[in-house]
C-alpha cells in the first residue's frame, strides 16, 4: 500500500445552527479543507453521516454534496457506522489512496441534528442501539451508558467525582477551540449537581446535540510533498476497525470496550507503535464514563485506572497523555457523522504545531478513536509526522 498523508483540514463553527442547512455547513468545512490543502479538485469523496434521512429528510448525500461543491461526476460515497461514521469515512478515504484508486480524496463528515424535535433526535440516535432488545423496552443511550458507569463503579471503585473531572478537563480545553460549541469552563460541583439524566450521569456528563461538519484532504506521499508549503507532513500510519456485540446484555463484561481494544491493536500493529508512543489523543467522550473506559481500552492506563488517572491530571494538557485537547465531544460538540473527521482535524493541527493555546508541546505521534453506539463499532487511526 502507498503512504497516505493528510494535506488539508477544515471545520465550521459547531453549535445549534438554526439558519444554516446541512449542505451549507458541509460546504463550509469542505472548502476550508481544500483551501488548506491548496487544491481545487479531488479524485473522490467520502461523506460520513449517521442519519441524514431522519434528522433532515435527506439521503443520497454523496451525489448531492459532490454537486454542491461543483464536482458532480466524481466518485462520492456516503458512509454510515452510527456515531463512528466520520471515522469510517476517513478509513474509506485512506483505502482509496493507499490502494492507488485515487491520488487525492476529500473525506468529510456532517450532521444537522437540530432541524427536528428533541424526541425525533432521540429516536434517530437510538437507531444505533439494538431496537428489539434495548430501544423497544425503553432504553436510551444515557441509560445504557449509565449502566456501564454503574458496572465500572462497582468493579473498580470509579467515583462520580472522577467522571466529573472528564467534563471539567474537556471544557477547559474547549475554551481554546474557536470551533467548539460550548467554550466555557465547568466545575466538578456543577457537573455533580446538574440535572440528572440517568444516574450517575447528569446533563453535564453528556455530549450535546450539535450541528456541524469537518473535512480533511488525503493524498499520496508524493503529492503531499509537492503541496506541503513548508509544513510538516502528517501520515496516517495505522488504521484499525472492529465491532462488538451491540446489545449490552450480550456482552460478557460491561466495563470493557472490546471493539476499541481490537481496533487499537490493529492500528498499533500497522503503525509499529505501542500505546506508550502516543503523545496526544482524541477519543469518543460521548459520556464522561466513555472517556474513562476508552483510555483503558486503548492501553493508556491499566483496567480500572481511568478514573484515578483522570483525577490525577494524566490526561490533561501537560499531563502524561493529553486526551481531547479540542474539548472532545463534551465541549466541542457531537454532530455524530462529523465527529470522527473532526478528531483527525485536531490531531493534524497538533502534529503540525498549529493548535494554539491548546497545543501539546512536541507532539509527533497522535491517535483518534471514534465509536458507534455503546461501542458496537470502533475505528482507530494513528497519525505521525514524517520527514
Which residues form the catalytic set? 83, 334
Distance from C-alpha of 361 to C-alpha of 195, rounded to nearest angstrom: 37
Distance from C-alpha of 343 to C-alpha of 13, rounded to nearest angstrom: 15
Distance from C-alpha of 31 to C-alpha of 9, rounded to nearest angstrom: 9
Cβ proximity of 383 and 234 under 8 Å: yes
Distance from C-alpha of 352 to C-alpha of 203, rounded to nearest angstrom: 34
Which residues neighbour 310 within 8 Å (Cβ) at sequence distance 6 or greater? 162, 165, 166, 169, 291, 292, 295
Q: Is 228 exposed, middle or buried (0-12, 13-18, 19+ CB in 10 A)?
A: middle
Nearest CA among 140, 137, 114 for reference residue 126: 140
Kindly state the cell numbers that stand for 153.
Answer: 463503579
CA atoms within 13 A on the CB side of 87: 31
Cβ proximity of 212 and 110 under 8 Å: yes
Distance from C-alpha of 145 to C-alpha of 373, rounded to nearest angstrom: 10
| 3-class SS of residue 235 | strand
Which residues neighbour 330 within 8 Å (Cβ) at sequence distance 6 or greater? 166, 167, 170, 171, 174, 182, 207, 285, 288, 324
Distance, CA of 338 to chain centre: 7
Distance from C-alpha of 192 to C-alpha of 189, rounded to nearest angstrom: 5
Q: Tell whether omega for the bond before 362 is within 30 degrees of 0, i.e. cis.
A: no
Amino acid at each position: 500500500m502507498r503512504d497516505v498523508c493528510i494535506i488539508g483540514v477544515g471545520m465550521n463553527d459547531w453549535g445549534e445552527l438554526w439558519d444554516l442547512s446541512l449542505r451549507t455547513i458541509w460546504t463550509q468545512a469542505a472548502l476550508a479543507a481544500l483551501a488548506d490543502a491548496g487544491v481545487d479538485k479531488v479524485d473522490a469523496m467520502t461523506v460520513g453521516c449517521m442519519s441524514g434521512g431522519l434528522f433532515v429528510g435527506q439521503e443520497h448525500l454523496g451525489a448531492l454534496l459532490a454537486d454542491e461543491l461543483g464536482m458532480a461526476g466524481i466518485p462520492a460515497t456516503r458512509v454510515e457506522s452510527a456515531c463512528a461514521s466520520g471515522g469510517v469515512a476517513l478509513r474509506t478515504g485512506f483505502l482509496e489512496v493507499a490502494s492507488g484508486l485515487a491520488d487525492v480524496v476529500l473525506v468529510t463528515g456532517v450532521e444537522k441534528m437540530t432541524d427536528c424535535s428533541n424526541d425525533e433526535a432521540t429516536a434517530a440516535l437510538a437507531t444505533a442501539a439494538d431496537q428489539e432488545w434495548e430501544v423497544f423496552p425503553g432504553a436510551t443511550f444515557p441509560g445504557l451508558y449509565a449502566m456501564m458507569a454503574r458496572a465500572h463503579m462497582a468493579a473498580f471503585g470509579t467515583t462520580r467525582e472522577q467522571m466529573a473531572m472528564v467534563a471539567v478537563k474537556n471544557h477547559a480545553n474547549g475554551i481554546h477551540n474557536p470551533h467548539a460549541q460550548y467554550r466555557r469552563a465547568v466545575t466538578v460541583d456543577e457537573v455533580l449537581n446538574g440535572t440528572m439524566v440517568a444516574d450517575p450521569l447528569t446533563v453535564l456528563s453528556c455530549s450535546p446535540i450539535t450541528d456541524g461538519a469537518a473535512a480533511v484532504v488525503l493524498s499520496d506521499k508524493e503529492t503531499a510533498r509537492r503541496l506541503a508549503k513548508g509544513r510538516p507532513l502528517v501520515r496516517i500510519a495505522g488504521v484499525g476497525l472492529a465491532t462488538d456485540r451491540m446489545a449490552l446484555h450480550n456482552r460478557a463484561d460491561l466495563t470493557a470496550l472490546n471493539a476499541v481494544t481490537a481496533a487499537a491493536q490493529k492500528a498499533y500493529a500497522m503503525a509499529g507503535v505501542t500505546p506508550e508512543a502516543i503523545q496526544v489523543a482524541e477519543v469518543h467522550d460521548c459520556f464522561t464514563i466513555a472517556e474513562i473506559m476508552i483510555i483503558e481500552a486503548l492501553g493508556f492506563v491499566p483496567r480500572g485506572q481511568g478514573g484515578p488517572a483522570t483525577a490525577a491530571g494524566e490526561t490533561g494538557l501537560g499531563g502524561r497523555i493529553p486526551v481531547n485537547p479540542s474539548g472532545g465531544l463534551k465541549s466541542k460538540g457531537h454532530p455524530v457523522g462529523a465527529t470522527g473527521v473532526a478528531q483527525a482535524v485536531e490531531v493534524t493541527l497538533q502534529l503540525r504545531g498549529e493548535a494554539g493555546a491548546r497545543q501539546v508541546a512536541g507532539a509527533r505521534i497522535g491517535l483518534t478513536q471514534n465509536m458507534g453506539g455503546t461501542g458496537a463499532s470502533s475505528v482507530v487511526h494513528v497519525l505521525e509526522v514524517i520527514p
